[in-house]
Chains A and B, each alone.
Chain A
Amino acid sequence: MSPGSNNRAPATEALRLRARRPYLLLRARLIQALRSFFEERGYLEVETPHLVREVAPEAHIEPVAADGGLLHTSPELCMKRLLAAGYSRIFQVARCFRKGERGSLHLQEFTLLEWYRAEADYRDMMEECELLMRFVCRRLGLGEQFRYRDRPVDLRGPWERISVSEAFERWAEVSAQEAVERGLFDDFMVDRIEPRLKGESPVFLYDYPAPLAALARLKPGASHLAERFELYVGGVELANAFSELKDPAEQERRFRKERRARETAGRMDYGLPRKFLRALDAMPDAAGIALGVDRLAMILADRGCIDDVVTFTPDDL
């Protein structure tokens, strides 16, 4: 199924929805399993508003406007305000909205699992990712080894860890630093790096160039890098994590930089998220992560397109 195909007759729609049943069932069981995992580990499930007044200004993420406010692009700001108020282990399964994102791995409206943990850093999150994936796969009866798109995936750890600079050294013609300076980081990621991340073991790609992680803490002793990782399973980018930046002044500087980038690109200015910045002062050391639930369901259902694991895509409405 290719994204964006429309003009389906009603009878075809019923057939399509019925054919999707096993994937929707798997999706429902996956979400139950995710909840059990966090419950067992002492996390509190929270719900924060979808309709918000502030979003983090990010160069390449576009919110959808709604009723004088904005639909959140992720629950990150509200969840960090909760962290700052002393909620030390929280998770949320939230619908998020990002304007214009549509492809075989993208839906404008999609489901994110976010979790935050005080007194933890991104390495702890790597470990927790491994535990989470093994837990849900056992729960769903898939075991720790399965196939995705005719390739084996093996969840038995420890998973592969490659730094971004190492990946560029190995597979790109330029260093990560140079790619950022030339504005071609994403091109190299898509063309050279991501196709190499389809091995049996899931991969943590970590330590991103500092300009590419506006909300992450810089690496102690290597301030050109940020403590950020992306998790790839079966070649699909599945989760993004940070050791969270908690210095309000530094955070404000980063946001201003993102706003300038948005201004240069002719994108809408949403102002600074003042309430978030005020709360940040009280936030403990923490790590946070966002994981694409639709993509995880897609991988576990062995589907090549995100459309197959949701009831309706925008094109079906």
Chain B
Amino acid sequence: MYNASDLKKGLKIQIEEEPYVIIEFQFSKPGKGQALYRCKLRNMISGVIIDRTYRSGDTFRPADLEERKMQYLYNQDDEFWFMDLENYEQVALSADQVGDARNYMMDNLEVDILLFEGRAIGITLPNFVNLEVTRADPWAKGDSVAGDTKPVTLETGYELRVPPFVEEGDRITVDTRTGEYVTRVKQ
């Protein structure tokens, strides 16, 4: 259990059976008065943000969260399935929960899946993934000045802009945090 004095930005606690992370925290204590612990919390499942004021003596259950290495299997009916690499159990995330990460979902990709009481609620990608370019228009010399970019489509269906020398069939590294091209992978 946590006490009110443990509250701080980033702490994850459980409120009414759901996990929340404190995103803003303020301690106030008007002269001779009681301590007020003001928190802005984000529901880690729904994303809904709430305000709460706690007092000395309040206690909190730590959110029962665990992150596990899993491998992406397939997607079906808007559900993305992953397999735990240790115990081979399979879990699913909804398309909403996967969000933009779907741009990088290729078979066998290793990701961190966040579990709340054993239930999958979120995903963390590796910072960099390598993906194959499945469609790229040939670069027409003189189309534009050097340093320009052209659009390509990757094996996952993700479209992004890359330097002109990238060709169909190349593998490129993408930064999953920004969604941007990093480099061409030497084959």
Using CB atoms, name the residue of chain B closest to A231: B31
Provide the residues of chain A in CB contact with B57, threshold 8 Å: 265-266
Tell me whether A24 is interfacial, beta carbon within 8 Å.
no
Provide the residues of chain B in CB contact with A61, threshold 8 Å: 32
Is there contact, CB below 8 Å, between A106 and B36?
no
Provide the residues of chain A in CB contact with B53, threshold 8 Å: 187
Q: What's the interface size class on B, roughly?
A: 10 to 19
Using CB atoms, name the residue of chain B closest to A239: B31
Cα–Cα, bound, A87→B53 (Å): 44
Provide the residues of chain A in CB contact with B8, threshold 8 Å: 4
Tell me whether A86 is interfacial, beta carbon within 8 Å.
no
Is there contact, CB below 8 Å, between B30 and A101?
no
Is there contact, CB below 8 Å, between A60 and B35?
yes
Assess A101 versus B35: contact at CB under 8 Å? Given A4-B8, A265-B57, A266-B57. Answer: yes
Using CB atoms, name the residue of chain B closest to A98: B29
Provide the residues of chain B in CB contact with A190, threshold 8 Å: 28, 30, 36
Provide the residues of chain A in CB contact with B36, threshold 8 Å: 186-187, 190
Assess A185 versus B5: contact at CB under 8 Å? Given A106-B27, A190-B28. Answer: no
Chain A residues within 8 Å of chain B by Cβ, number: 27
Contacts across chains A and B counted by CB atoms under 8 Å: 56
Is there contact, CB below 8 Å, between B5 and A100?
yes
B32-68 residues with Cβ-Cβ distance < 8 A to A are 32-36, 53, 56-57
B1-46 residues with Cβ-Cβ distance < 8 A to A are 5, 8-9, 26-36
Using CB atoms, name the residue of chain A closest to B4: A100
Is there contact, CB below 8 Å, between B31 and A237?
yes
Provide the residues of chain A in CB contact with B9, threshold 8 Å: 2, 4
Cα–Cα, bound, A314→B32 (Å): 22
Using CB atoms, name the residue of chain B closest to A60: B34
Is there contact, CB below 8 Å, between B33 and A106?
no
Q: Mark A101-131, 1 if CB is under 8 A from B, else 0.
A: 1111110000000000000000000000000
Using CB atoms, name the residue of chain B closest to A103: B27
Using CB atoms, name the residue of chain A closest to B28: A190
Most buried by A among B5, B30, B35: B30
Assess A185 versus B31: contact at CB under 8 Å? Given A100-B5, A100-B56. Answer: no
Is there contact, CB below 8 Å, between B56 and A58?
no
Closest Cβ–Cβ distance, residue A176 to chain B (whole Å): 13
Is there contact, CB below 8 Å, between B56 and A103?
no
Is there contact, CB below 8 Å, between A186 and B27?
no
Cα–Cα, bound, A58→B29 (Å): 14
| Cβ 8 A contact of B33, one of A3, A100, A102, A189 | A189
Is there contact, CB below 8 Å, between A102 and B27?
yes
Is there contact, CB below 8 Å, between B35 and A240?
no
Closest Cβ–Cβ distance, residue A270 to chain B (whole Å): 16
Assess A60 versus B28: contact at CB under 8 Å? Given A4-B8, A187-B53. Answer: no
Using CB atoms, name the residue of chain B closest to A213: B32
Query: Residues of B with Cβ closer than 8 Å to A?
Result: 5, 8-9, 26-36, 53, 56-57
Q: Which are the 5 A-B pairs with shortest beta-carbon distances?
A: A103-B27, A186-B33, A189-B30, A100-B5, A60-B34
